[in-house]
């Protein structure tokens, strides 16, 4: 899984770096805390959290959806709390509600490489997961916060495909990849209700 903060590049480019950095730290901490309940945190990648789980420990599909829901809910609530509690009028604090969260999930093979005490995941499927961060879901749907699943995840978790928005992405050296997406804003509103 790659949980990536949407809108962060423009957020940093248009705001004061000190407050933007502080907001990122708080939001990443919330993401790590939620995701680490089920997944192993591989590493922080700027404005994203890369996490994984080994095949024998994969839970049922509903548990995975609940993890995504709870992580998204905590992220949105933290961003809104930081915004409402901000006492300064800086652009970073005012822009916090524009940040969103997207999830990319893939099921595949990897090896764990240990170099200088650090563990890294390697493999074509790891590369694919990271390439999925550059997709056309937002352009196709207008969604900023979404969960994206590859066909192997859908198969492994036994998700019904008719509940998802489907499209095909194409990546050099990796070919065409069928993806299934859901709008996290809709799920967020349902959770709040």
Digit-coded pLDDT (tens) for 75-126: 999 999 988 887 777 777 777 888 999 999 999 999 988 888 878 889 999 9
Please count the CA atoms within 13 angstroms of the CA of 184 that sit on its side-chain side: 29
Non-local (6+) Cβ contacts of 30 within 8 A are 71, 74, 75, 78
DSSP H or E segment with residue 150: strand 146-150
pLDDT in tens, the chain (193 residues): 999 998 766 666 666 666 677 888 999 999 999 999 999 999 999 899 999 998 888 878 789 999 999 999 999 999 999 888 877 777 777 778 889 999 999 999 999 888 888 788 899 999 999 999 999 999 999 999 999 999 999 999 989 899 899 999 999 999 999 999 999 999 999 988 8
Classify residue 64 as exposed, middle or buried by CB count within 10 Å of its CB (0-12, 13-18, 19+): buried
- Show the domains of the chain with their CATH numbers: 2-192 (3.30.70.1230)
């Amino acid at each position: 899984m790659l949980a990536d903060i949407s809108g962060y590049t423009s957020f940093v480019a248009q705001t004061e770096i000190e407050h933007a950095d502080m907001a990122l730290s708080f939001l990443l901490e919330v993401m790590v805390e939620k995701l680490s309940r089920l997944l192993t945190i591989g590493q922080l990648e700027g404005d994203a959290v890369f996490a994984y789980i080994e095949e024998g420990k994969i839970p049922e599909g509903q548990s995975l959806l609940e993890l995504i829901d709870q992580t998204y809910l905590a992220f949105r609530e933290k961003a809104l709390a930081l915004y409402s509690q901000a006492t300064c009028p800086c652009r970073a604090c005012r822009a916090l509600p524009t940040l969103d969260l997207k999830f990319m999930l893939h099921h595949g093979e990897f090896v764990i490489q240990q170099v200088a005490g650090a563990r890294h995941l390697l493999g074509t499927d790891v590369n694919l997961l990271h390439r999925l961060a550059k997709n056309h879901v937002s352009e196709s749907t207008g969604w900023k916060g979404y969960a994206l699943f590859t066909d192997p995840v859908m198969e492994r978790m036994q998700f019904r495909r008719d509940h998802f928005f489907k499209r095909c992405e194409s990546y050099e050296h990796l070919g065409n990849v069928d993806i299934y997406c859901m709008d996290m804003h809709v799920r967020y509103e349902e959770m709040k209700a």
